[in-house]
Structure 1
Amino acid sequence: MFEYVATLLSLGFAAKPPLSALRVSAYLDTIEQGPPDAILGIAQAFRENNRPGKVNLAVGAYRDDAGLPFVLPSVAAAEARLLSRGEKKEYAPIEGLPGFIQLALKFAYGDDCAALKEGRIAAVQTLSGTGACRLAGEFYARFLPKGTAIYVSDPTWGNHINIMQLAGLEVRKYRYLDRATQGFDFEGLLADIEAAPAGSIFLLHACAHNPTGVDPSSEQWRTVSNAILRKGHHVLLDCAYQGFASGDAEADAFAIRLFLDEGHSLLLAQSFAKNFGLYGERVGTLSVVCADAASAGRVLSQLKCIVRPMYSSPPIHGALIVNEVLSNAELRRQYYGDCAGLADRIGTMRLRLIEELAAVGSTHDWSHVKNQIGMFAFTGMTAAMCDELTERHAIYLTRDGRISLPGLNSGNLAFVASAIHEVTNGKPIGSAK
């Protein structure tokens, strides 16, 4: 070996300097610092703050009354069953686990869904709702006419805009929140549906609108559906809170089943992060309603073509948990009870927050907090008020005034209410008329 190296050196094959010395990575020096995520950046700032009594009302994850992460008993039981049988770790197919997909679609569209029985819904397992939206954006960009715009609610979940723009779609907004009342701008939405070019895409939240918690009534959903049909628009329903909104998964599926029954050009992005507490498992589906089984087969083939170079196939553990819960009658009943319990605690926090605000002397009308639904409350506080809550009281929330109600508990409710009163006292909030 030594003789070989000596020969190379004698022939001029001297050792070259390390690649770093050649500055092949000099381009990295020109890269600017990226902005922190509007929500995850807040969570990081919360973790880095050592102040006692700090409160995180930003993250969209359920916490129990002790402020701790909570695993649904039905989910824990399902996981125990899986482990007792010896879960296999083989790759899933490109489209995901077939059993899980079918149960997930029945959960959303209904056990007796005719379209499912006819085989005309194409679906793939996704990396939770975020992945489902990303695939939907890519699908639309490939197969709708170039220049088709997607309309998102004002406001919407912040990641919707980034996802759709990166998929190559032009993002526009439709009116949704009446900021004077923190209620639903029904007439504004209808006007924007009418004004949008025929064949546009409307991204709607199936239930528990994020971030506002403001949902249309059943009759308003019907009117919205008819308006969209008249203009020939496409619909992407984002469903992240089925069962977690009202506590009744069947009731929370109203808009999904209405839009299916009325014959919309419909895609559904489905997430099991919130309603099953599977945040880190990344479990979801994207489904496309087609005219017939042959069309569904072609659509599925194209969805697989999108998935394969993107992430190849989805993870299996979380999907197996959902499959276990929804396929077992006992666990399914338990799960529905779990959801009702979660929704009940969140509803209680809404009422108690309003009571505590009144108790500390707030004269603002906070009734909009009671009227909203889901895990978030859109308070109407300004960005300056939110900044003050964080800087002076170490209460972390998004700067649009949205708070995550599961972050409230018996130990911090009075403190939070007092701090909110302090920063809003004598100042107008969004609900002021």
Structure 2
Amino acid sequence: MRGQNIGHGEKPNQTEDLGGQGSLAPPAAVSPETRLLSAFKKDTEDRKVDLARTEYFSEEGKTFEFRIVEKIKKQLSMHPTYGPECSSDLGLTEFTRRVTEVTLGKSARALMESKVLGVLTTGFTAAVHLGASLLEHWSIYVSWNSIYCTCCPGPSVDSVARIFQSAGVPDIRYYHYWDNKRCCICLENLLADLEKAPENSVVVLSASAHYPTGADLSQDHWYLIANLIMRRKLFSFFLLPFHGLCYGDLQRDAWPVQHFESKGMEFFCAQSLSHSFGLSGDPLGHLLCVSKRKSRLSSLKLEAADLVTSLCEAPSAGGVYVVTAVLSNPAHCAGWQTEVKNVVSRCMLIRYMLREKLRLLGNPSCWNHLTQQRGLFCYIGLNAHQVEFLSAVRHVYLLPDGCLNVSAINGNNLDYISESIHLALTVSP
């Protein structure tokens, strides 16, 4: 597949073998997940399976709550008058401090020199939207040329693009990430596209648990990308929507962010804590801003406070308290880390089992990419017709780009899902 520099507002031809970056849809749009959930609820078939949700599901097929989180919530319910008040419009100070430390590392130079701003938001989408809005303020210092996102033939990239567009960013461009024929990251094309990006362009990067592909860049890849971004004078905007659910370790998942900080680079990082803490229905996000100059952060802080007041509702106090309590207490944090690692281990086991089931069914395709990917999501490699066949004939619901949530697969539905995928490849090639 040959790389291309995609022009102003253009997306690659939908028939090309591209994959890309995903995010949650902006508030004004109906997400693919929402549309599929509606169709799933209307489906009366007993064997129906929803693989398009973004929550983590247990082996019993239920949304999962960590034991330590449940314990802290019970403690909170015993004190109904307690409600941690945000010390400023930017959120509870202790929350932003703990999340910033676990993302950058306690010994990060930017932290020591007070060149970091953390902002509490109502979920991941709000964090991305706030960061996109703050780029306009940042442009007082640097004149942005355009925003570069990864591209894919499906709805996932449209979501993150819509967030930037809704924040007033008109020039959205795309770079290659996924080679659908080889089922792997197309690094050469990625680097070639970024090499062509004009100076002062903003590059949107997935730090870990890449959505929808589940395929992450290696540390060697990140060394190359960091050097290119520094040399070309680009600005990084990291995405961490499933922070912790790639390796089961918040700091390891954030290694690319820490690497960029260690090289003295400026960047934004939008992240979610809801998934990694099992806070289903309690959206909790965070925007991290790292600057080379304290003076720039001071004015950015004032702008962020105004934007949070106008753009975002306040997150629930309970979710903020839970995350703060876990990250502030070494015993709680150790217990939570163990549970997160168990979640990640189960997802990897499901990947191996699905790969083996598909192999035994006699499908000639190579399924090694299933176990090379990580996190909750898997880019199975089906086309739009095959995905449509699964929902219409087999009542198995995936996102239109072939992304599925591996945690929704369990011992009760593994055989049926495997057979359904095999049929989709056989009957609807």
| Alignment-derived partner of residue 6 in structure 1 | none
Three-state SS of the structure 1 residue aligned to 2:388 is: helix
Q: How do 1:62-211 residues align onto structure 2 when only pairs under 5 Å count?
A: 62-86=56-80, 88-89=82-83, 92=86, 93-144=88-139, 148-155=145-152, 156-169=156-169, 170-211=171-212
Match of 1:30 in 2: none
The alignment partner of 1:400 has SS state of coil
Deviations 1:356-379 (A, max 9, x none): 112222221111111111111101
Change (3 A) 1:75 1:384: same
> What does 1:28-43 correspond to in 2, within 5 Å?
36-43=30-37
Change (3 A) 1:284 1:87: farther
Q: Is the 8 A contact 1:120 1:293 kept in 2?
A: yes
Distance 1:121 1:87 in 2: 33
Partner SS for 1:425: helix
Task: Give RMSD over aligned pairs.
Answer: 1.8
Distance in structure 1 (CA, Å) of the matches to 2:318 and 2:77 = 10
In structure 1, list runs of 5 or more residues that go unmatched: 1-33, 429-433
Structure 2 SS opposite 1:281: coil
Structure with the greater alpha carbon radius of gyration: 1
Question: Aligned-pair distance for 1:426?
Answer: 7.2
- Is contact 1:272–1:284 with CA below 8 Å preserved after alignment? yes
Q: 1:125 to 1:260 in 2, by over 3 A?
A: same
Distance 1:197 1:290 in 2: 21
Spell out structure 1 runs of 4+ moving beyond 6 A.
none
For the residues of structure 2 that align with 1:77 and 1:90, how far apart are their CA atoms? 18
Task: Calculate the TM-score normalised by the size of structure 1.
Answer: 0.87
Mean Cα deviation higher: 145-154 or 217-226: 145-154
Distance 1:367 1:200, change over 3 A: same
| Aligned ranges 1:217-256 → 2 under 5 Å | 217-256=218-257
- Shift of the alpha carbon at 1:312? 5.9
The CA distance in 2 between the partners of 1:197 and 1:85, in whole Å, is 55
Please say if residues 94 and 312 of structure 1, whose CA atoms lie closer than 8 Å, have aligned partners that are also in contact. Answer: no
- What CA deviation, in whole Å up to 9, does each residue of 1:20-72 have, x standing for no partner? xxxxxxxxxxxxxx985322110111112121011001011111111111101
Matching residue of 1:343: 344
Retained in 2: the 8 A contact 1:233–1:265? no
Task: Provide structure 2 residue ranges, at least 5 long, that are not aligned to the other structure.
Answer: 1-27
Equivalent residue number for residue 418 of structure 1: 419
1:290 aligns with 2:295: no
Contact 1:118 1:292 in 2 (8 A): no
Secondary structure, aligned partner of 2:204: strand
Contact 2:213 2:379 in 1 (8 A): yes
1: CA distance between counterparts of 2:213 and 2:320?
A: 29
Counterpart contact for 1:157–1:211, Cα < 8 Å: no
329 and 81 in structure 1: CA distance in 2 versus 1, 3 angstrom threshold: farther
Aligned counterparts of 1:241 and 1:266: Cα–Cα separation in 2 = 19
Displacement after TM superposition at 1:91 (Å): 5.3
Give the number of equivalent residue pairs.
395
Partner of 1:23: none
The residue correspondences of 1:267-306 to structure 2 (distance < 5 A) are 267-306=268-307
